[in-house]
Structure 1
């Protein structure tokens, strides 16, 4: 699988069915406390719904796609204006909510895009959107790039763009903070595994929890990431796939540690491996992630072990692009499961056999940053205040 979703497809197989609305005060159960589920639960609660949030292993757990230390936040999505706009809203909500949480979650380091050719559609096609929102990028020649960031080897690059508005987010800490705020504002949180009950007459009758309890609601929002395809195999088994994505943390030289800690998030637009990284975060080391899709992975039973071939290639890239890290030791590693949709677009759709089951997923490795804006969108869609974007509606069988 060679999919890369820095810029998801702008043409999708969308659903033509209308999206139902649910009256204020309706009882909603949200299954999954990750970036999509947690934020949706919080905004549904704020919209006036009675909300229960359920998660098997807890928000930000090590199995989840919303785990690990950090995630990139950037607006650049090629020609996909809807994601640019969604991220602009997300940035505003991240800043607003971190003040409410009294916890720093967004770090505005900026994002460096390493471009190999004179034209780079992934970045170039977003420039008009950046200007529209007064979030312009800075074009850096190869000489300007090296002068400002001398740790970079740039001889094979044509230029770079610097987006001063992006950066990185705290990942697992964010999920936990959202859950805590959800409870503080009156939501109910349950730590348990969920099994859907029976579907009859276009309705799910209940869910069963691993603690033996049975819960009923007016509507069930399943936002359980990589597990969506397992919970609904006949509907999503061929739509949501989970891949093993490896992330490495390398130790930086002691004499330059402070420089790396303040280095921007970076993305290497080579059109092949699509490496990206977060050079510093709480002194955890120089993080590099591999965005090109890895092997099919089971998020429940899969071991979070290193694939030597993938690590070797990542080391070669680090030594090339950041020569001072040529012999840097590997100090930590992670596996970040991606829950992929076929075209990289989010999925926000009604279960074809149950009108009270709403499916939310398809983060595809780029969804985390959009969490608060997507949660707000879900809540407003439930209330009938907006129509969900067609690109998120997918025809399901």
Structure 2
């Protein structure tokens, strides 16, 4: 693993092209990495991928598989705690209501996660299943079940009595129905990124840890992929500043009762309570860290560089009130951990996988929107095909589909 430069707390800024992009970057006067044509016909293309989160790391790996000479660059280590891909766990599931495109992407990505998990010394995919349950509006449930039938997924539809009998650790008061996805579960996020990059390096890829602000020269590249997560709109504030925003999210884990097996991954699934549109979700006690709870509401808009990483008493009280109502066996459970991370939300929740409008050799990848981690392998595949072959992904992932008003449509 090669390293150049020194990590810094300074904001990552990268002016990656000529005057047209300088305007998109808000006029930041920094040096540009060279974008040079291949030296001879038939030579392997050289691609620099900037950002070693889940989208950037999988893009680098998918490019490498297609024969490109790839350098992955990040200011910190892969899967670092300040990134949207950092942290312990992320959910993988195919329940997306009528949004079949994401169900298909999750299913296609699942085999990649399974393969990576088999290659790791410790589990990356924990297939404890995923349970969604609903109160009054069952339209999301019915649409998901319809999509899953078409995809041949073994998803189970459960009424309230079946839910209560099968998952006694949850109080299903007011719940009308639910669905259980047995093939899905939790992804151990930081371990996944680190394992992926380790294997990428072992197969001939390169990684450089360096300050991303143009203070040094980048390897000559035919293409550059920018997968900078919540830092992407900071790089292009005029182009993306209102189309992708970072929001603060607080996550808590609690100590389960001693000797109680109901909160282990063998008994308890990952879950999401649609809560009449105000979604909470969580995980069982993964690797002894505690039972996880989070409120899936987009929090305050933040700067990923400067946001306060301390949790708030208000957010904790909100989660505890929900926990005590829906998981009564955890009442008075001791707080184990409290963490602050972020989403990088596009205006509607769809991803961005598109060339820069003024420089098509630069590919923009982002907008994970809180649900993107599970899709990393497929996002990487689409980004690699766009980078090397010019193959455009679904129009939902282009720049034109992103508005300037935040209105989440993908859940």
Under TM normalisation by the shorter chain, which class is it? 0.7 to 0.9
Residue 232 of structure 1 corresponds to 236
Of residues 235-244 and 125-134 in structure 1, the stretch that sits farther from structure 2 once superposed is: 125-134
Q: Distance in 1 between matches of 2:275 and 2:113?
A: 30
SS in structure 1 of the partner of residue 276 of structure 2: coil
2:307 paired with 1:302 = yes
Residue 187 of structure 2 corresponds to 169
Residue 74 of structure 2 corresponds to 55
Deviation of 1:62 after TM superposition, in Å, equals 0.8
Specify every segment of 5 or more residues in structure 2 that has no aligned partner in the other structure, as ranges. 1-37, 404-411
Specify every segment of 5 or more residues in structure 1 that has no aligned partner in the other structure, as ranges. 1-21, 196-207
2:220 paired with 1:216 = yes
2:249 paired with 1:245 = yes
Q: Distance in 1 between matches of 2:221 and 2:359?
A: 13
Deviation of 1:32 after TM superposition, in Å, equals 0.4
SS in structure 2 of the partner of residue 336 of structure 1: strand
Residue 10 of structure 1 corresponds to none
Deviation of 1:309 after TM superposition, in Å, equals 1.4
2:206 paired with 1:155 = no
Contact between 1:24 and 1:47, CA under 8 Å: does it hold in 2? no
Deviation of 1:385 after TM superposition, in Å, equals 7.9
Deviation of 1:238 after TM superposition, in Å, equals 1.3
Q: Distance in 2 between matches of 1:256 and 1:50?
A: 51
* Structure with higher RCO (Cα < 8 A, 6+ apart): 1
Deviation of 1:277 after TM superposition, in Å, equals 0.2
Residues 101 and 254 of structure 1: CA distance in aligned 2, closer, same or farther (over 3 Å):
closer
Residues 271 and 46 of structure 1: CA distance in aligned 2, closer, same or farther (over 3 Å):
same
Number of positions where the alignment pairs a residue of Structure 1 with one of Structure 2: 361
Residues 385 and 217 of structure 1: CA distance in aligned 2, closer, same or farther (over 3 Å):
closer
SS in structure 2 of the partner of residue 288 of structure 1: strand
2:126 paired with 1:120 = no
Q: Distance in 1 between matches of 2:317 and 2:201?
A: 44
Residue 57 of structure 2 corresponds to 38
Deviation of 1:224 after TM superposition, in Å, equals 0.7
1:253-285 CA-to-partner distances (Å, cap 9, x unmatched) read 002156434310000011343100011210110
Q: Distance in 2 between matches of 1:102 and 1:328?
A: 32
Q: Distance in 1 between matches of 2:259 and 2:354?
A: 52
Q: TM-score, normalised by structure 2?
A: 0.84
SS in structure 1 of the partner of residue 344 of structure 2: strand
1:91 to 110, 122, 125: 110
Q: Distance in 2 between matches of 1:230 and 1:257?
A: 46
Residue 318 of structure 1 corresponds to 323
